[in-house]
Structure 1
Amino acid sequence: MEADATQGGDVPVEELRFNFRSGRLCLAFVATVGERWRGNYERLQEPADLKRWYRECGLLDEPVTVTPTGLDAARTLREAIYRVAHAVMAGRPAAVQDEATITMAAAAQALIPVLHEGASRLTLPADGGEQAALSTVARDAIDLFAGTLAGRIRECASPECALLFVDTSRPGRRRWCSSAACGSKDRSAAYRRRQAGRDS
Structure 2
Amino acid sequence: MNGEATPSSDVPAEELRFNFRSGRLCLAFVATVGERWRGNYERLREPADLARWYREVGLLDDPPAITPAGLDSARELREAIHRIARTLIAGHIQVGTDEAVVNAAAAAPPLVPVLHAGTRRLTLPSADGQGAALSTVARDAIGLFTGTGADRIRECASPTCGLLFVDTSRPGRRRWCSSSACGGKDRAAAYRRRRAANINSADGPERC
TM-score range, shorter-chain basis? over 0.9
Deviation at 1:7, TM superposition (A): 2.7
The Cα offsets for residues 17-70 of structure 1, whole Å up to 9 and x where unpaired, read as 001000000000000000000000000000000000000000001131100000
Q: Take 2:158 and 2:63, find their aligned partners in 1: how far apart are those partners?
A: 35
Counterparts of 1:82-101 in structure 2 under 5 Å? Answer: 82-101=82-101
2:137 is the counterpart of 1:137: yes
After TM superposition, the score normalised by the length of structure 1 is 0.98
Deviation at 1:199, TM superposition (A): 1.2
Structure 1: unaligned runs, 5 residues or longer: none
- Structure 1 residue ranges, 4+ long, deviating more than 3 angstroms after superposition: none
Counterparts of 1:27-176 in structure 2 under 5 Å? Answer: 27-176=27-176
The Cα offsets for residues 150-194 of structure 1, whole Å up to 9 and x where unpaired, read as 010000000010100000011111000000000000000011011
Q: Take 2:175 and 2:183, find their aligned partners in 1: how far apart are those partners?
A: 8
- RMSD of equivalent CA atoms: 0.8
Q: Which residue of 2 aligns with 1:193?
A: 193
Residue identity (%):
71
The Cα offsets for residues 87-127 of structure 1, whole Å up to 9 and x where unpaired, read as 11111121410001000000001000001221100000010
The AA in structure 2 aligned to 1:85 is: A
Structure 2: unaligned runs, 5 residues or longer: 201-208
The AA in structure 1 aligned to 2:11 is: V
Q: Which residue of 2 aligns with 1:8?
A: 8
Q: Take 1:187 and 1:23, find their aligned partners in 2: how far apart are those partners?
A: 22
Q: Take 1:37 and 1:193, find their aligned partners in 2: how far apart are those partners?
A: 25
Q: Take 1:95 and 1:79, find their aligned partners in 2: how far apart are those partners?
A: 15
